[in-house]
Structure 1
Amino acid sequence: MNNNKSLIVYFSLSGNTKEAAQVIQKDTGADIFRLTAKDPYPADYDDYAKRGDYERRHQIHPAIKNRILDWDKYQVIYLGFPTWWQQPPMIIHTLFDDYSFAGKTIVPFTTSMSTPMADSMPYIRKMAAKDHAQVVPGYRYDGDKQGMRKWLQREHLLEK
């Protein structure tokens, strides 16, 4: 895989998804972009959880602060997020609103204490379907760097 045409896009508040994204970057050499909301989430867990739940219940897609440069040059998008209420945070929906995933392969990864990646996959597939993007089976990162590396190899995203 030509990783100079790969981009890791991730959303992280606690730092767990950031760590997962950095592990992927180290193994793949892909470019990396951290999604941040135009209206920043509060630093306190209880406060950002309340906001995230409100956005989910009201289907609010929060605006993204910065633009991803050269989006069209990327073929593979590693998409990382924490799982909130068995699904991606609403800012992930905003990403799909703002960018075309046509012709791209989406490689989802998540962080969660217990929710399996399988719970988020229907949301990712539905968002990707509007652009007919390919979605590979995702991965729930729990700190196991070797496990993530094996997943990347299994999905033919790394040399063996």
Structure 2
Amino acid sequence: MLTLLGLGAASFGGLIVLDQSNSTAQGSSRRTPPAAAPGDNSSAAPGADGILTIYYSKTGANYPDLDLTVGNTARIAEMIRDRVGGDVFEIVPETPYPADYDETDRMAGEEEAENRFRPIRDALPDVSAYHTVFVGHPIWYGEQPMVVQTFMRDRNLGSATVVPFVTHEGSGFGNTLEVIADFWPDAQVLEGFEERGTQVHRDLDGARRDVDQWLERIGF
């Protein structure tokens, strides 16, 4: 999945390091999230299951040379929904990221560095009645893309159970758990799921087995 690795061998190596360690410099100390009102600007009420899966996934150009009609994180979200049920909300930017990979890389890096929240196109769901929220995204510059952080800023999950899942190309979770703690300090965070996006793309059956084993391990 798009982990924003940059151009050339030197950039590749440097940004892998940024994914794993430099993310702390852009992490929790720079955020003062507002107290979000769960009911503002909401779409339909939640279903009976009390489970919500939210995700952002990049289609089109992805690392290293993929052109995806369905993003890798979206594939994982589908697998989770198939097993646990509940509702799904896809985070779609109001202004899409560029089709060009390198331009998306540049733009996402600027957003992360400047803590610039990207608006979301659709009305956000009312999260107040969900007891469990799965949150999925690629790792960009060591943490959640800023469009995902817009959702986190604008929806307070309170003491709900949060289950993270990410796609990446070497960073694992990066700084995402610290970001979750910043925005949702009262949430109960379960063991998350991480998989390389290229592995998801190459072996969907294997990815599904990994997802099923993880969900069984955490009680779903």
TM-score for the superposition, normalised by structure 1: 0.88
Structure 1 portions without partners, runs of 5+? none
Matches of 1:112 and 1:3, distance apart in 2: 32
Pair 137,17 (structure 1): closer, same or farther in 2 beyond 3 Å: same
Deviations 1:109-146 (A, max 9, x none): 000121112542222222221xx111112110342211
Matches of 2:153 and 2:195, distance apart in 1: 26
1:57 to 107, 113, 121: 113
Q: How much identity, in percent, do the aligned residues show?
A: 27
Instruction: Indicate conservation of the 8 Å contact 1:112/1:141, yes or no.
Output: yes
Deviation at 1:39, TM superposition (A): 1.8
Runs of 4+ in 1 over 6 A off after TM superposition: none
- The SS at the match of 2:135 is strand
Deviation at 1:70, TM superposition (A): 3.5
Instruction: Indicate conservation of the 8 Å contact 1:104/1:134, yes or no.
Output: yes
Alignment of 1:128-143 (within 5 A): 128-129=184-185, 132-142=186-196, 143=200
- The SS at the match of 2:184 is helix
Matches of 2:79 and 2:48, distance apart in 1: 14
Matches of 1:20 and 1:93, distance apart in 2: 19
Larger Rg: 2
Instruction: Indicate conservation of the 8 Å contact 2:142/2:174, yes or no.
Output: no
User: What is the number of residues matched between the two proteins?
Assistant: 154
Structure 2 portions without partners, runs of 5+? 1-46, 60-70, 201-206
TM-score for the superposition, normalised by structure 2: 0.65
Deviation at 1:73, TM superposition (A): 2.0
2:212 to 149, 153, 159: 149
Matches of 1:29 and 1:72, distance apart in 2: 18
Partner of 2:93: 37
Relative contact order, CA 8 A, sep 6+: which one is greater?
2
Partner of 2:168: 112
Q: CA RMSD in A?
A: 1.7
